[in-house]
Structure 1
Amino acid sequence: MQTRKVAILSVPMDLGQGRRGVDMGPSAIRCGRLEERLEALGHEVLDLGHVNVPDPEELGVESTGPGGGMGFLEAIRTACTEAAEKLLALSDDVFPVILGGDHSISMGSVTGVSRRERTGVVWVDAHGDFNTP
C-alpha cells in the first residue's frame, strides 16, 4: 500500500443551515481516533487544527430563509477563507482531509484544493443521496 502525508483540517461549521449540531462532526470523528488509524496504516498525519467558526449566538444576527444561514454569510465567508488559505498552503504531496460541518464548508474546501493538477471531491454527509454533480 502506498503511504501518504495526510493533513486533517476541522471546519466545525453549522452556520449554513437551520439545525444545530453538525458542528460537532469534526470532534466526533477525531474522538473516533482518525489520526491514530491513519498512522496505523503507515501514513504521516499533519494536524492542521480547526478553523475558527463562531457560534450563531455570538454573531448577534438572525438566520434568514428556509434553511437559515443567510444572516451568517459574512461569518461563513470568513471561515471558508481561513480554510482555503490553510489548504492552499499545503504542498502537492499532501492529501487533505477536511472534516465538517455543514455543506457551506465546500466554498473553502474546494477552493483550497483547486490549484492542484488533479482534484477530486468525496462528499459524505448525513444522508445517503449520492448525487453526481
Structure 2
Amino acid sequence: MTAIQVITVPFDAGVEGERMGAGPDALIAAGLLGRLGLCHDVDAVRVVPADRWRAELRTTFTLHHDVAQHVRRALVAERAPLVLSGDCNMTVAAVAGLGTGRRTGVIWIDAHGDFNTPDTDPDGYLDGQGLSMLTGRCWTAHTRSLTGFTPILDHRVLLVAARDLDDEESLALDGSDIGTLSAQECQNPVTRGTALARLIADVDRVHVHFDADALDPEIAPANSYAASGGLQPDEVIALISELSALRPVVSATIASWDPSFDREARLGRALTEVIEAIALVINHS
C-alpha cells in the first residue's frame, strides 16, 4: 500500500477558492480522499498562506515556499506528494520540494504551453509562465530563493497535448530542446514510445504535471481556457502507465479544474479517474 500525501492548494492567481482555485476543494468534497484511501494510506493538508494580504505575485510566491516545504515533509515521512492546485505553477514548488539529489524529468500534460515570460505574455498572466519558470527562463530571483530548486533542463521535459499557444510562446518552444507530443500523436504507440524514451534518457525519476484542460472539452470544459481537441482519460492513463514502467513517478501536480464550467461534474469524474491512475503508480522512492 503506497503512502500518499495529498497537498491541496486552493488558489488561482492569488485568490482563494475562486475559478480554478475552487477545484481542489471540490475534488475533496466529491470524495477523492475516500476513493484514494481504498488502495492507499492517505494523509491530506490544505495550504493557505499565513499572511492575509492577497496579491497574485506575493501570494503565489509564498505558496511556492509553503508547498515545497510540505513536499519535503512528505518525503521525510515516506509519502508520495500529490499536489492538487488551482495554478499550474505549483509544479515549480513541487519540484523544488523533491530536491537536487537525483535527475528529475517532468511530463507536462496541458492544453497550453505555459511557456510565456513577463516579456512575452500578452495577458500578463503568471500562470501562463509556469513551464518557463520551471526551466529557468523567468522569475529567477524568486526560484533561486526556493530551497531545493534547480531549473529543469529542456531535454528532461516532455510537453503533451499542447494545442493553444501564443505566437511568441510557440516560437520559444520551437527554439527550445523541450520534447513535444500532440494529443493525436499520443494515439500512435511508436510516436508515443519515442517521445517517452527521449524524456527518460537522462533522468532518474519523473514528476507528472497534469492540467485538467488537457482532457477533451467534449467531456466538459475544464475551465475558461479549454481548447478543442485533447485527450480522453484512458489515453492519459495509458501514457502514465507506460511512463511508470520506464522510470519511477515520484510526485504529481493536478491543476486547473474550475467546477463552475462543469455543472454535471463530468470532467471532474474523468479527472478523478486520472488522479486514481496516477496514485496507483506514484512512489516516493
Give your verdict on TM over 0.5: yes
Flag the 1:108–1:24 CA change in 2: closer, same or farther, 3 A. Answer: same
Structure 2 residue 36 is the aligned partner of structure 1 residue 52: no
CA distance 1:116–1:23, change in 2 (3 Å): farther
Instruction: Show the 5 A alignment for 1:17-96.
Output: 21-41=19-39, 43-47=40-44, 49-52=45-48, 59=54, 72-90=56-74, 91=76, 93-96=78-81
CA distance, structure 1, for counterparts of residue 101 and residue 35 of structure 2:
26
What residue identity is the alignment partner of 1:103?
C
Deviation at 1:107, TM superposition (A): 1.9
User: Compared with structure 1, are the counterparts of its residues 116 and 8 closer, same or farther at alpha carbon in structure 2 (3 Å cutoff)?
Assistant: farther
Q: Deviations over 1:43-69 (max 9, x none)?
A: 11111x211159xxx53x6xxxxxxxx
Across the aligned residues of Structure 1 and Structure 2, the Cα RMSD in angstroms comes to 2.7
Q: Provide Cα deviations, 1:79-123, integer angstroms capped at 9, x if missing partner.
A: 110010111112263111100111121221221123564542222
Tell me, in whole angstroms, the C-alpha distance in 2 between the residues paired with 1:93 and 1:115. Answer: 17
Residue pair 2:49, 2:66 contacting (<8 A) in 1 also: no
| Paired residue secondary structure (1:22) | helix
Work out which of the residue numbers 69, 78, 83 in structure 2 matches 1:98: 83
Alpha carbons of 1:40 and 1:86: their partners in 2 closer, same or farther (altered >3 Å)? same
Residue 256 of structure 2 is matched in structure 1 by none
Q: SS of the counterpart of 1:124?
A: strand
**Aligned residue type for 1:124:** F
* Aligned match of 1:110: 95
1:44 aligned partner, one-letter code:
D
The size of the alignment, in residue pairs, is: 111
Report the AA paired with residue 45 of structure 1: V
The aligned amino acid for 1:76 is: T
Instruction: Report the TM-score when normalising by structure 1.
Output: 0.69
Q: What percentage of residue pairs aligned between the two structures are identical?
A: 23
- Runs of 5+ consecutive residues of structure 1 not aligned to the other structure: 62-71
Q: TM-score when scaled to structure 2?
A: 0.35
Is the alpha carbon distance of 1:21 and 1:39 closer, same or farther for their aligned partners in structure 2, counting shifts above 3 Å? Answer: same
**Large movers: runs of 4+ above 6 Å:** none
Distance 1:24 1:119, change over 3 A: farther
Q: What secondary structure is seen at the aligned counterpart in 2 of 1:120?
A: strand
